[in-house]
Amino acid sequence: MNLRQKLGWWKYFTAAAISLSVTLIGLALILNIDVFGHRIPSPNVSIDYLKGLIWSMFLLFVLQLLPFPTPHKKALSIIWVLKIFVTLGAMLIYEKKYTLDAFTYYKQSVNEYAQHSFSFLDGTLFIEWMGQKINGLLPYTNSYHALKVLWAFFGLMAIYSFFLAYTKISKSKSTENLLLLALFPSVLFWTSILGKDPLNFFCIGLFTLGVAYLDKKEIHKAIALFVLSIIFVSLVRFWLAPLLIAGLSFYIIFSSNKSGMQKTSLFLSFSIFLFFAIQSILKFLKVSNMNDFVMRINDVSRSWSEHGSSGQAPPTFNSSLDVLLFVPKGAFTALFRPLPGEINNLFGLMAGIENLLILIFVIYIFRFGKGITKSYPFVIFCLAFTIIWSIFYGFISYQNLGTAFRFRLQVLPLVLLIFVLVRERRINNDEPSQLPQNLTKV
């Protein structure tokens, strides 16, 4: 790249940054930021917003300096601009209408009398501790919007981690699928908030990239990513760690070229480990028998029914058989609901349309995905983690469809990656059949 080309790129970047700043300031003035931010616990919402805008521009500049391929940086810059429009624009409407956990996270992070510490069992404390440390270390923070922008950048890096995993597995280097992952509505929205969701998403993205490295026999990189993501996710949502490890175990067992006997031995070993792990968890939860287990499931399910968006009563379990029979219904809810018509507002309509599209993608995978795990063993992890996750989260999601839609962010990129790989393989397999018959005989 010559000097003129470099200057041309920086001119484009500067123009984009100035345009974004002017547009967002104009939007804030039109919407009246003080009115739309009346729920935000900040003494001066306008200054708070300005700090967030400064950080969004700074991170756009940082993005140009990261050691990523130029096509990737251009795509990420486009995505970041769109994420900022969501974070500092569309999110204002959402924040005006609802009282959010994000407000509590920020309020506690600027509470000089609060002594926060992180815990493997309390993600809320960890978010507040993290916000407090950022406020103490970085300039122009102590701002709700600045923290929200930083969290959105975690979301951007998570999206890129999933895309890097795809590029490791696939021969395609096109950034079109990076845009698909990033601009899917729920990904764009839920990775742009201040809360646990962008950090969970970031951890799962790193872990998925680790599986891709493992698939390509880059063991050291894989182990580093596994350790980092498991530690981090344990601080945010500790129960995601064993779910990720379970998905990885299925990949290790069924992706190898080992004999049937060796795979059976590995599966039995994993089953024994899982049995003792479950026993330890049940002991921690003070569950001593099956009746206690059923009661605990009832308690967990009901605890997520408050402020639900579905109008559905939480399921009642009287026996372990009830729990087992509920699994398919709960898993379907976790992955695909709300469907169109189940939540009668604009948010519900948009969520329903997106979920219907995801259901169509999954039907496509079942229709054309035969043998996909042989073509791409990486898919074994995607499938195993998604299924295990949906069973676990089905007990939470069934009676609160708003929560279901938000939580599904954790596995949505994996479903999209499977869809892209199935479609890619189908297109590649169809290419020879499109040649003239006399050429195919050569």
Please check whether residue 429 lies inside any domain of the structure: no
User: Which is more confidently placed, 200 or 269?
Assistant: 200
**pLDDT at residue 153, rounded to an integer:** 96
Residues 30 and 18 in one domain: yes
Q: Are 336 and 359 in contact (CB under 8 A)?
A: yes
In the chain, how many domains are there? 2
Please check whether residue 277 lies inside any domain of the structure: yes
- pLDDT 10s digits, 270-303: 777 767 666 666 666 566 666 766 776 766 666 6
Residues 273 and 348 in one domain: yes
Q: How far apart are CA 94 and CA 40, in angstroms?
A: 12
**pLDDT at residue 384, rounded to an integer:** 94
Residues 307 and 407 in one domain: yes
Please check whether residue 437 lies inside any domain of the structure: no
- pLDDT 10s digits, 341-397: 888 777 788 888 999 999 999 999 999 999 898 889 999 999 999 999 999 888 887
Question: End of a domain among 219, 238, 257?
Answer: 238
Residues 207 and 252 in one domain: no
225 falls in which pLDDT band (50, 70, 90)? very high
Residues 20 and 146 in one domain: yes
User: Which is more confidently placed, 180 or 278?
Assistant: 180
Report which of 340, 420, 388, 423 is spatially closest to residue 180, judged by C-alpha positions. Answer: 420
Residues 233 and 244 in one domain: no
Residues 319 and 355 in one domain: yes
**pLDDT at residue 31, rounded to an integer:** 58
Residues 214 and 275 in one domain: no
Residues 6+ apart with CB under 8 A from 422: 364, 365, 368, 369, 372
**Residue 285 lies in domain:** 239-423
Report which of 74, 96, 85 is spatially closest to residue 21, judged by C-alpha positions. Answer: 85
Please check whether residue 415 lies inside any domain of the structure: yes
Please check whether residue 438 lies inside any domain of the structure: no
Please check whether residue 358 lies inside any domain of the structure: yes
Residues 185 and 86 in one domain: yes
User: Which is more confidently placed, 213 or 16?
Assistant: 213
Write the DSSP string, 17-79. Answer: HHHHHHHHHHHHHHHTHHHHTTTS--S-HHHHHHHHHHHHHHHHHHHHHSS--HHHHHHHHHH
Residues 123 and 73 in one domain: yes
Residues 265 and 224 in one domain: no
Average pLDDT over residues 194-221: 94
**pLDDT at residue 264, rounded to an integer:** 72
**pLDDT at residue 174, rounded to an integer:** 82
Please check whether residue 393 lies inside any domain of the structure: yes
- pLDDT 10s digits, 143-177: 899 999 999 999 999 999 999 999 999 977 788 99
Report the chain's mean pLDDT, rounded to a whole number: 81
User: Which is more confidently placed, 402 or 49?
Assistant: 49
Question: End of a domain among 202, 217, 238?
Answer: 238
Residues 165 and 282 in one domain: no
Question: End of a domain among 187, 208, 238?
Answer: 238
